[in-house]
Amino acid sequence: MRTVDAHHHIWDLTVREQPWITGPALAPLLRSFGPRELQAEATAAGVDASVVVQTVTVAEETPELLALAAGSRLVAGVVGWTDLTAPDIADTLAALRQLPGGQALVGIRHQVQGEPDPGWLLRPEVRRGLAAVAAEGLGYDLVVLPQQLPAAVEAAAAHPGLTFVLDHLGKPRSPPAASTAGLRTSVPWPPCPTPCANSPAWSPRRTGTPGRSPTCVRTPTPCWTPSEPTG
């Protein structure tokens, strides 16, 4: 049986900044993480393949991740970023497929959590973009906050042919005083929202970062499956 790390990041701070890394809790992440370190960690953990996920809304990052996959036996999939609202999104997705490593493109993600409009996913131009993602045979990773989940559920219902991956379980709020160690043992997990649990288009994923709710391996079944946070 193959072991797949379904959600990890790589970045080089000499190439571009990672503005989301702020505050003392995330300070240990404020350095570059490259392919060699990934390979070493994966080998030590018995991981056979991985999916690298975008970190910033910069168009240049996705071709870089695809090139990484093209030269790696470990990176089997890439979740990239492109502007869902762009009129030419279908052409952009097709062009990404033609790049070196383009066959590794498995999904698209946007930092919806940073959008002030809780209904951003329901905007007509966003729905058009989601339809283009589905037409290209890709999945869509949702990185949302709890107040954005109702729009996410409605968006999923409007696109039954598109697989949605819920990153970080929708970021349920953790007790302010919870430590990283405490998150591993004492934070109660919310029940799976009924509209999500009943839809085969939903796949939860948990990973974890210091000071934040632990978040899930990509699973084929539409239910919460708590596991150890992986960082």
100-132 pLDDT per residue, tens:
999 999 999 999 999 999 999 999 999 999 999
Please give the distance of CA 114 from its chain centroid, rounded to a whole number. 14
5-23 pLDDT per residue, tens:
889 999 999 999 998 888 9
Whether residue 50 contacts residue 75, with contact meaning beta carbons closer than 8 Å, is answered with: yes
Q: What pLDDT score was predicted for residue 196?
A: 53
Residues with pLDDT less than 70, the chain? 174-231
Q: Among the residues of 113-200, which ranges form H helices? A: 124-135, 149-158, 180-183, 194-197
- Tokens standing for residue 15: 């190439």
Q: What pLDDT score was predicted for residue 186?
A: 38
Q: Which domains does the chain have, with CATH numbers?
A: 4-205 (3.20.20.140)
Q: What pLDDT score was predicted for residue 216?
A: 33
